[in-house]
Amino acid sequence: MELRHIRYFLTVAEEMNFTRAAQRLNIAQPPLSRQIRDLEEELGAKLFERTPHSLHLTEEGILFKQYAARILELENRSKEDIREMSSGITGRIFIDTVEGYGPRLVAGWIAGFRKEYPNVTFDIWTGTTDEIINRLHKGLCDLAVVMEPFSDPGSEALKVYSEPWAAVIPKEDPLAKTDSDSIKPEELSDRQLIIPSRASRSSEIRRWMSDPEKPLKIAARVAHAINVRELAGAGVGIGIFPLALRVTGDSSVVIKKIGHPDAVASYLLIRDNDRPLSKAADSFHKFCVENPRA
């Protein structure tokens, strides 16, 4: 298997049409079709389901697409890492971050780091802690900002910031109209809630309540802040999200801290213990460690 086979496959998988894929690749369609058939023979599986009027990935094709994307990504990164070894600190650093305060942490670090190393560029991906840990160990990011709870023996972690959890309340809700800037967990126990999709969050939120065994009334589980704002603003329920969501205003919701000593969102900077960082990523990691916000 050669890299060109992988590039050809990914182009066809993106276009879902051999003619358009061939045009993108500047080759004729028959040779492209032969290359895909050769790849399927080598793998011992059909990657595409072909009909006279459509083209679809098989289950094997869907799986191979994931591997193919990672192979090309690692190829590009290896070239950059080799180039930067002989040209000083340049290249591209891949960072994953959760939402909440994560993007502000990352932005501050990048702004400070690029004053000294302006030729370094950054590729930022946002997701949940569980998604990010998976990507870190697959080599798809160099460093990451995640949230507690965190238990991963394959990673080195440093706490870099903490903030309260908050309630994102529809503007017309009676709880939004009180004078206090905080809200007791018990006031949420019988309300429809919009909570983070991470599996551990439900039990964590229940522990803030006077009766931790009482099930939560969950209207939606979400991974991104925009969904919390939109759902709460539409009156679907009260969102629970880190207080950083209050940084940008939204007239459709009121955001109040949750008044409980354990209602704290803590952020960690992590790296893979077994994978060496590029020169640029290692320098950036040291910069972040020297400038925490914990």
Which CATH code for domain 3-70?
Answer: 1.10.10.10
**What pLDDT is recorded for position 224?**
87
Handedness of CA 108, 169, 150, 69 (dihedral sign): negative
- Single-letter residue type at 272: D
Helices (H), 88-128: 102-116
- Closest to 9 in 3D by CA, of 29, 30, 32: 32
Distance CA 236, CA 252 (A): 12
- pLDDT of 86 over the 70 cut: no
> May I ask the CATH class of domain 89-161+267-290?
alpha beta
**What pLDDT is recorded for position 75?**
81
User: Going by DSSP bridges, is the β-strand pair 155-170/238-242 parallel, antiparallel, or unpaired?
Assistant: antiparallel
| CATH 3.40.190.10 in the chain, residue ranges | 89-161+267-290, 163-264
62-73 per-position pLDDT tens digit: 999 988 988 888
246: phi then psi, degrees, rounded to nearest 5: -75, -10
CB 100 within 8 A of CB 225: yes
Q: Is 206 exposed, middle or buried (0-12, 13-18, 19+ CB in 10 A)?
A: middle
**Yes or no: domain 163-264 corresponds to CATH 3.40.190.10:** yes
pLDDT class for 85, splitting at 50, 70, 90?
low
The whole-chain average pLDDT of the chain stands at 90
- pLDDT of 187 over the 70 cut: yes
246-276 per-position pLDDT tens digit: 766 668 899 999 999 999 999 999 999 988 9
CB 253 within 8 A of CB 177: no
Distance CA 94, CA 123 (A): 5
